Each structure stands twice: as structure tokens, then as C-alpha cells.
Chains A and B, each alone.
Chain A
Amino acid sequence: MLLKLIGASLILFAGTLIGFLQAARYADRPKQIRQLAGALQRLETEIVFGQTPLPDALQHTASNAGQPVGRLFQAAADELSAGEGRSFRECWDHAMRRAWPTTSMRTPELTVTLRLGSILGMSDKDDQLKHLRLAAVQLKAEEDAARDDQAKYEKMSRSLGLLLAALVVILMV
């Protein structure tokens, strides 16, 4: 009996935890998207006003952005300085795909970010500005969508975790 009780409470606890984690992902996503947009804004300043070379600009952006977005830029800067004759797009692609799972962001934001890879550093500053602004607008749209998702699913996934755990317990008893 006691063993059953312990098992049931463990299942309940785990279910609730999964629910809360899922909810946290919903809550973090818009925050991180905004953080990413902020970091890109910073990169834009470095490029357009500072005319800082891209490897340095990425490094500066990485050290100024909060985590986990800073990690994305740091990864890109590291890949680029390791270089080995790869183009910027390859470095950027690889870095983003590798570091993306450590964030709460999803595929739509990743697509916007990856698109930047073929443009950054490859044109004059007016062109860079246009593309970075476009990315900012797209990220804003994703942020809004993420906010809607958060409103819809955050609470739900929290209670869903608990309820599913309860269901499992009931079925087992």
C-alpha cells in the first residue's frame, strides 16, 4: 500500500513537472525572441554605424546580449574565427542549428535567423540595414504569435501535466 502511495505521488510529481516545464517554454519563447531582436539591433548598430568587421561585431553582440541568445552569437563568432575556409553562411548555419535547441525558440524564428546568414557581411551597409530591419519585422510577427500561444497554452499545459498524471494514477489503481 505504502509503495503504491509513493509510486502514485512520484507519477503526480513528474507529470506536474513536465507540465510546468512545457509552460515555461511557452513563457520563455516570446521573451527570447525579443532578446534575439534586441541582439540583432545591436549587430545592426555595429555594422551600420561602427562598420566593425563582422567577426568582431558578432563577438561584441554576444557579450552584450543576455543568455541564451548570447550563446547563439558566441557560437557563430567561434565558428567564424575557427574558419577553415568556410563561408560565413556555413558557419552561421552550423552555429545556429547547433545552439538553437538550448533555447526555447522554434523553427519559424530559426528560419528568419538562417536567412540572415546568406546576407550578413556580403553587401554595403544600406543593404545590410534593409535586411536586418526585415528580420526585425519578421521576428516581431513571430513574437506576437508566440505571445498568443503563451496565452492559450501556458496555463493549459500546466494543468494538463497534473491531470494526465492523475489519469495514469487512476488507471493504475
Chain B
Amino acid sequence: MLERVAHLLPSELTAVLARMPAKAQEGLEEIRIRDNRPLEVWTLGVSTFVSSSGSLSDNPEGAYKPSFELCRKLLERMTNHSVYAMEEELRRGFITVEGGHRIGLAGRTVLEEGRVRGIRDIGGFNVRIARDVTGVAGQSLPQLIDRSNRTIASTLIIGAPRQGKTTYIRDLARAISYGRWQSPQALGWSGRKVGIVDERSEIAACVRGVPTFDVGPRTDVMDACPKAEGMMMMIRSMSPEVLIVDEIGRDEDVEAIREAVRAGVSVVATAHAGEWEEAAARPALKRLLQEGAFARGVVLRRTITGLSVKVVDLSAAAAAASIATGSAARAAGHSAASPREPTVTARAGDSHAP
């Protein structure tokens, strides 16, 4: 993994990291560089400190400490010597570079009329190494298709942070765009036009508007765009058949998703939540689920063997709920949001997927 980001890092730092054990280098997920403080890496799922000889330890004493000069060089490399051209990125707090890697920044913020305008005196960097895993969505895709419309059903994907939500929807976007439906019932279906609204530049990892991940041949990306606005722009301008958005949860997102569903567009969205009940309890999601905006739910969890994917059929749950409310069981009014136990479980993919 190290070689993927080596070109971003000053040579002194690369040298230190290259002295780590090979296995740790391969499992590298994050490199956390803090000005004059111990160098930390996330590798093989755990946090550890790196000494200048490359040995790993839980103890920050004796760890390699990147100097101020080194941090400056790092910043220069990441911004192509042009911090002034990165104002938008500094406002958001991270820079996406070629290859989809993402560098989170921390430092002293500059305010303008009470709003953050950027970061000055950057003292902390978090290099998150992106890895694109093809095929994680393949096995569960047949359960997500909408047979009558020959496309994917509107789907809500939930999972706690770092469980592989973004990797999953990226792969989903790619599969739909290429028309790899993986199902005998979908034989001969072509791919669908996919629109990705990528507010945090994570799904497609665009650099200057061009996706650096393969997101499929029929895919358009609205990069760094607020989700709600982006969805409306996409519908107006790019006529997508499937809209893909990351991390919904605000009120304006609800309105935009409603609008998209009304326009006949399938929406595939992710939300932060550990359990299905947690997701269903969030006000914005609750409303959408009650209205039946989503036909499928997916719960993602990383396990030792790989990514565990649970698919929930919400349309059946909704039907059951309406019968329940029909028989005057008022307490079951919200049961659309808490359907029965998942119907199917599939396993696929890489356990280290970001």
C-alpha cells in the first residue's frame, strides 16, 4: 500500500515507513503525521507508532517525530506548491489527490464572519489510503433489482463508519453502469445511466472533475457538490436513471430524494448507523422509510472473513406494516422502519476495504 502514496510523501518519511515490516506496509490504511509529535499509522486494523528504525510499538515514546520542515514539504507536495489554489479544499478540511487518496488536515482555522474560510498553520495530516475493491456488491446485487423496471430498486445502505459503505456503493455504481447485473433474471439488461453526487469526493475521488476510480462507462459525477442541490442538478441536467449519494441524513436530503423518486429515478443512498433500528430512528430517514421511498435496505458490517451484507426487503415490510395498521394496531405505525430480520446474507470482498 505504501508505494501507492510514496510519491506524495517527503523522501525522509517514505524511508521511515519503508522500514516497517512488509505485512504492516501491505495493510497500511492511514498515515497520521503530526508536527513534532509521534508518527502514527493505522495498519491491519490497529493504531501503532513507528520509530525511525521502522519498528512498531504501542508506546509513543521513541517514535519518529516528523519535523516542521517535513510537514511543510508534505503540504507543498500535496498542494503542488500552491496552497492558494486549494481554498475550497482547505475550507472542507481535506484534499483528494490522484488515486483517490484523501489527506485530512488539521490546524488553526481562519474565520471570516464567523465561518471557516480555511486552515492556516497546518500541523496535522491524515493520509487515508484509498483502495478500490471490485466485486463487493456483486453477490447482493440480484436481491436489489427491480424486475418490472429492469433497474435497481431504491436502496438505503447503512453501516457504522469504516465498514465499507463507500466501497460498496462505488462497486454498485460500477456494476449498474456496466450492466453487470449478476442475475439470470436480468439477462440481456443493459447498463443504466448513473449519476453520483459525491459531496466528499470519496465515491469517485475526482481530480479536476475526472473520476480516478472506475465508476463505470455510463456514470456522471457531480463532485464536491452539496447532496440535495447536486441531486436536483443531476436530475435536471444529466437525466440519470440511478442516483447515488453518500451519507444522507439532513432535511434537505429528504426533500431531494422524494423529488428524485417522484421523477422515477432509483436512489441508492448510504447513512451512518450501526443497526437498522438506529437508522430508522433518525428523523430524516424515518420519514423517508415511512413514505416508502426505499424498496430495499442493506446493512453492512466488516467481519474477519470479509464484508457481511444483509439485504432487507422493505417493500414487503411496508406491505406487512400497512396490513398491521389496517387491523387497528396503531403501535405498529412505525414498523415500516423496523422490518423483520434480514432475508438474505451474502459475503464478499476485502476485509480491509475502507
Instruction: Give A residues with C-beta under 8 Å from B.
Output: 47-48, 51-55, 57, 80, 85, 87-88, 120-125, 127-128
Contacts and interface: CB of A to CB of B under 8 A. Distances in A.
A121 B80 CA distance: 9
A88 B76 contact: yes
Contacts of B120: 123-124
Contacts of A87: 69, 72-73, 76
B95 to A, nearest CB: 13
B118 interface: yes
Interface stretch (B84-92, B251-259, B261-269, B308-316): B84-92
Given A80-B81, A121-B82, 20 more contacts: A47-B84, A48-B84, A51-B84, A51-B87, A54-B81, A57-B82, A85-B11, A87-B69, A87-B73, A88-B76, A120-B81, A122-B72, A122-B75, A122-B76, A122-B83, A124-B87, A124-B90, A124-B110, A124-B117, A125-B84
A163 B212 CA distance: 72
B10 interface: yes
Among B85, B90, B110, chain A packs the most CB atoms within 10 A around the CB of B85
Nearest to B110: A124
Chain B interface mostly: helix
Given A85-B10, A85-B11, A124 B84 contact: yes
A54 B82 contact: yes
A55 B80 contact: yes
CB-CB nearest 9 A-B residue pairs: A54-B81, A125-B84, A121-B81, A53-B82, A51-B85, A54-B82, A85-B11, A53-B80, A88-B81
Nearest to A58: B81
A152 B282 CA distance: 81
A154 B82 CA distance: 42
Contact of A125 (B69, B73, B79, B87): B87
A128 B87 CA distance: 13
Range of interface residues on B (Cβ < 8 Å)? 20 to 34
Contacts of B69: 87
A170 to B, nearest CB: 59
Contact of B84 (A85, A88, A121): A121
Nearest to B9: A85
Nearest to B118: A124
A53 B83 contact: no
14 contacts: A51-B84, A52-B85, A54-B81, A54-B82, A55-B80, A85-B10, A85-B77, A88-B76, A121-B82, A122-B75, A123-B84, A124-B83, A125-B84, A125-B87
A42 to B, nearest CB: 16
A72 B83 CA distance: 22
Interface-centre pick from B72, B73, B82, B110 (highest chain A CB count, 10 A): B82
Contacts of A80: 81
Nearest to B69: A87
B221 to A, nearest CB: 22
Contact of B76 (A57, A121, A127): A121
A123 B108 CA distance: 13
B110 A53 contact: no
B123 to A, nearest CB: 14
Contacts of A122: 72, 75-76, 83
A98 to B, nearest CB: 19
Nearest to A121: B81
A86 B331 CA distance: 67
B73 A85 contact: yes
B106 to A, nearest CB: 17
A7 B14 CA distance: 66
Interface in B74-130: 75-77, 79-85, 87, 90, 110, 117-118, 120
B85 A53 contact: yes
A88 B74 CA distance: 11
Between B76, B82, B84, B120, the greatest number of chain A beta carbons within 10 A of the residue's beta carbon is seen for: B84
A61 to B, nearest CB: 14
A51 B90 CA distance: 14
Interface in B267-321: none
A121 B83 contact: yes
Nearest to A91: B81
Nearest to B119: A124
A88 B82 CA distance: 10
B26 to A, nearest CB: 24
Contacts of B10: 85
A118 to B, nearest CB: 9
Contacts of B11: 85
A60 B64 CA distance: 40
Nearest to A48: B84
Contacts of A51: 82, 84-85, 87
A74 to B, nearest CB: 16
Interface centre among A47, A52, A125 (most CB of B within 10 A): A125
